[in-house]
């Protein structure tokens, strides 16, 4: 499901090489997945290749777009314009044409009414109205842990169906609302843990311990 995005990114970088057709194993190698998986995924979205020419790059790209994107685009709101919030805002601006960052929210009066990275920052007091009026359906939460649940609740009641959550806590949301957690601390912890495990394995087997 999220691999489809990876396939598209692979295809988007391709025209420089002038390829018209691609085989499943080529896409697989570039996207870092297995060829079976590529064939299965593309079958699922209903795009057909031909046995000895593979997949048509242009057509596949169009097909992926039709599947992944909303025709009219979707509006996104971000709540919490701290360090992380600003970085995320900057990161997303203009990156996917069909996803428009339409509004940012913060409780700090110093940040309200300013335009940050090309995106107007409103007070959280008017969040409900702005989300409703603009028809925003996607939310990004970069507020502190304590405020996250309340912000999520308000986003959902105002019409948001999907949330990208950077706050280190699990959000309770009604059924039918999708939440993706991006917990930086948990991820770094995991990396550190496996780094340690692998490091120890290496010390046992190999001789060149790095100490």
Partner DNA sequence: TAGATTGTTAATCGATTAACAATC
CA distance 42 to 193: 35
CA distance 105 to 139: 11
Cβ at position 97, least distance to a copy of itself in Å: 12
- Say whether residue 37 binds DNA (CB under 7 A): yes
CA distance 121 to 194: 40
Closest C-alpha among 184, 188, 157 to residue 168: 184
Binding test (CB under 7 A) with DNA, winner from 51, 109, 175, 207: 51
Cβ–Cβ under 8 Å, residues 113 and 136: no
Nearest to a copy of itself of 51, 146 (CB atom): 146
Cβ at position 206, least distance to DNA in Å: 24
Q: What radius of gyration do the chain's Cα atoms show?
A: 21
Residue 113 site contact among DNA, a copy of itself, none (CB < 5 to 8 Å, cut-off depends on kind): none
Cβ at position 2, least distance to DNA in Å: 9
- Say whether residue 39 binds DNA (CB under 7 A): yes
CB atoms within 10 A of CB 85: 23
Cβ at position 179, least distance to a copy of itself in Å: 8
Site string for DNA, 14-33 (x = CB under 7 A): ---------xxx-------x
């Amino acid at each position: 499901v999220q691999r489809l995005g990876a396939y598209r990114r692979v295809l988007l970088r391709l025209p420089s090489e002038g390829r018209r057709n691609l085989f499943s194993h080529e896409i697989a190698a570039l996207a870092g997945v297995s060829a079976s998986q590529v064939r299965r995924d593309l079958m699922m979205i209903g795009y057909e290749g031909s046995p000895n020419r593979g997949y048509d790059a242009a057509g596949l790209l169009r097909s992926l777009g039709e599947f992944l994107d909303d025709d009219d685009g979707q509006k996104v709101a971000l709540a919490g314009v701290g360090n992380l919030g600003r970085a995320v805002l900057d990161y997303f601006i203009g990156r996917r044409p069909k996803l428009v960052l339409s509004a940012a929210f913060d409780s700090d009066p110093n940040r309200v009414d300013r335009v940050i990275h090309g995106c107007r920052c409103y007070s959280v007091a008017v969040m409900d109205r702005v989300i409703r009026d603009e028809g925003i359906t996607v939310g990004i939460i970069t507020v502190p842990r304590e405020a996250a649940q309340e912000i999520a609740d308000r986003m959902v009641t105002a019409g948001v169906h999907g949330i990208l959550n950077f706050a280190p806590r699990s959000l309770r949301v009604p059924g039918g609302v999708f939440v993706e957690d991006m917990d930086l601390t948990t991820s770094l912890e995991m990396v550190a843990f496996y780094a340690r495990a692998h490091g120890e394995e290496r010390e046992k087997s190999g001789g060149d311990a790095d100490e």
